[in-house]
Chains A and B, each alone.
Chain A
Amino acid sequence: MILFNNISQIVLIILSVGLLISTLEYLKKVQIFSPNGLLSWNVMQLKWTKENQKPLLKPFFKLFSVPGLAILFLIRCLLITGLLFFPLQSTVGWVLISLLGLSLLLASLVTHYGSDGSDQMSMLIIITLILCNMPALASSKLRDIGLWFIALQACLSYAVAGIAKLVSAEWRSGTAIKDVFSTKTYGSKKATLFLQKYPAANLFLCWNVIIMETIFPLCLFLPWPFALIFLVWGFIFHFFTAVIMGLNSFFWAFMATYPAIYFVNHQISWHLF
């Protein structure tokens, strides 16, 4: 039975929603892996050019075809659904998540181009949960260490993104968001018109993102009511990047790290306050 008082389990459930959507999206676009698609294995295998790597690549010709990957994605959907019924710490649950991790690793060989930060965060969380929940060997202390790792990676991601924006003249001058929103790839017509009408909003949004991302790691140390401000900001931030920029998978991947941040915050607060 699934217990919602288990933080690792909550992390997994939130992440599973995003992974299910992402996998179904890949299923819809499975033709990109066809021989004439952008991610055809005929071309993607060129990444491994050494002679000793070629025998290792042979079995992948069947897997990385359209039918092969469609089956892999369907199996992944079944594994994710199965994880709703079997707790992470049970043997069946651990086997299911391990197979899910394996399917993600295999697919990463062919999705080198086109994957984004949310795919990396998802992979990072899944591998951590696999390693830290191995039946018979994993202790409760190791599960805590896994949650610490996820929380620290999440805070590192925000801080690095914030610092990288802080050193950028385009972000500091307040033009970056307007420019990104004006592209068809990551923007929207309505958002572009809004920012043209209210130029002061550009500067406010750029500096809001710079400051909040840079100081985000504070949420690990501050008393919970103050730390919660960062998580609410993060929720709103990811929701709007999903709505305006279409980055839907980032929302689930990063929301999945928040229970881990909650856990670490409460562990640190217990010692500090």
Chain B
Amino acid sequence: MLKLTPTAIYELVITVILACWFLATILCQFKETRVSWFIRYKIDLFNLIPLWTFFAPHPGKRDYHLLFRDKISDDSYTEWHEMDITEERTFWSWLWNPEKRDKKILSDVVQSLVSSIPSYREKTGNLNLLMFSTPYIIVLHAVSHYKRRTENCHRQFMLAESAGYQKETTPSLILLSVFHQI
């Protein structure tokens, strides 16, 4: 018979935890289910349940670009200024690649914005409520802290995508914001 020593109890508890963790990971590989939504957004505060579908089913084929401009008067604007995010890697990137973080953050934020656009359109008929979403605020916050021409500045940002080294594909617009007072 199993003796209930502290070691045996601890072993049982940890085994159950690991088994549940593994089961939850399997369940969360299917993106759209109610169970996976509940686990991911209600239980998994620390992002401990991974999604292992790297670069599939739809691999990222685009580079994202974040640009902004300021309003000078009612009908004149500054040139578009691109935030320095997509830069080419160095020889040592296989070992030391701090630049990947900026790219991944912007890529995650843009993907989150793009994927939420259809649901905002469906629920409200327009995209105004998108301005209250966290990814939109992150982008606005990032562009609003770049140097301004005047104290009372109105700034607009644009998210665009390009096909990197495939020059034959022209860049395209993802989202053009309204002018925000910053």
Contact of A114 among B51, B104, B134 (CB under 8 A): B104
CB distance from A53 to the nearest CB of B (A): 10
- Mark contacts of B11-48 with chain A using CB atoms, 8 A cut-off: 1 yes-contact digit, 0 otherwise: 10011011001100110010000000000000001111
A188 and B91 CA atoms in complex are apart in Å by 11
B10 CB-CB contact with A under 8 Å: yes
Whole-angstrom CA separation of A65 from B137 in the bound complex: 19
Partner pick for B57 among A32, A145, A171, CB 8 A cutoff: A171
> Closest CB of chain B to A239's CB: distance in Å?
8
**Is B128 part of the binding interface, using a Cβ–Cβ cutoff of 8 Å?**
no
Q: Which of A81-89, A197-205, A240-248 is the interface stretch?
A: A240-248
A212: Cβ under 8 A from any B Cβ: no
Chain B positions within 8 Å of A255 at CB level? none
Is A259 part of the binding interface, using a Cβ–Cβ cutoff of 8 Å? no
Task: Answer whether residue B109 sits at the interface, using C-beta atoms and an 8 A cutoff.
Answer: yes
Given contacts A124-B48, A167-B57, contact A141 B11 (CB under 8 A): yes
- Interface presence of A98 (CB below 8 A): no
Q: Could you tell me if B137 and A43 are in contact, using CB atoms closer than 8 angstroms?
A: yes
- Evaluate contact between A161 and B134: CB separation under 8 angstroms: no
Q: Scoring A residues 19 to 41 as 1 if CB is less than 8 Å from chain B, else 0, what string do you get?
A: 00100111011001001111110
Is A40's CB under 8 angstroms from B141's CB? yes
Q: Which of B67-75, B92-100, B149-157 contacts A (4 or more CB under 8 A)?
A: B92-100
The answer for the CA separation of A36 and B21 in the assembled complex, in Å, is 36
Interface bin, chain B:
35 or more
Q: How far is the CB of A101 from chain B (nearest CB, A)?
A: 10
Q: Which of B15, B51, B60, B94 contacts A246 (CB 8 A)?
A: B94
A121-138 contact mask (Cβ, 8 Å, vs B): 1 or 0 = 101100110011010011
Interfacial chain A residues near B166, Cβ < 8 Å = 182, 192
CB neighbours of B55 from chain A (8 A) = 161, 165, 176, 180
**Contact yes or no, B134 A47, CB < 8 A:** yes
Q: Are B48 and A192 in contact (CB under 8 A)?
A: no
User: Shortest CB–CB separation between residue A179 and chain B, in angstroms?
Assistant: 4
Give the interface centre of B45, B47, B59 by most chain A CB atoms within 10 Å. Answer: B59
**Nearest chain A CB to B15 CB, angstrom units:** 6
Residues of chain A within 8 A of B15, CB atoms compared: 142, 145
Complex contacts, A192 vs chain B, CB 8 Å: 164-166
Contact of A183 among B50, B60, B99, B144 (CB under 8 A): B60
Partner pick for B56 among A36, A47, A124, A165, CB 8 A cutoff: A165
A184 touches B88 (CB 8 A): yes
Contact with B along A92-134 (1 / 0, CB 8 A): 0000000000000100110011111100110110011001101
Closest Cβ neighbor of B26 among chain A residues? A156
Query: With an 8 A cutoff between CB atoms, is A186 at the interface?
Result: yes
Known: A142-B15, A176-B55, A182-B61. 7 other contacts (CB 8 A): A108-B47, A138-B11, A145-B11, A187-B165, A189-B88, A246-B97, A248-B95
Binding site for B on A (CB under 8 A): 21, 24-26, 28-29, 32, 35-40, 42-44, 46-47, 105, 108-109, 112-117, 120-121, 123-124, 127-128, 131-132, 134, 137-139, 141-142, 145-146, 149, 152-153, 156-158, 160-161, 164-165, 167-168, 170-171, 176-177, 179-180, 182-189, 192, 239, 242-243, 246-248
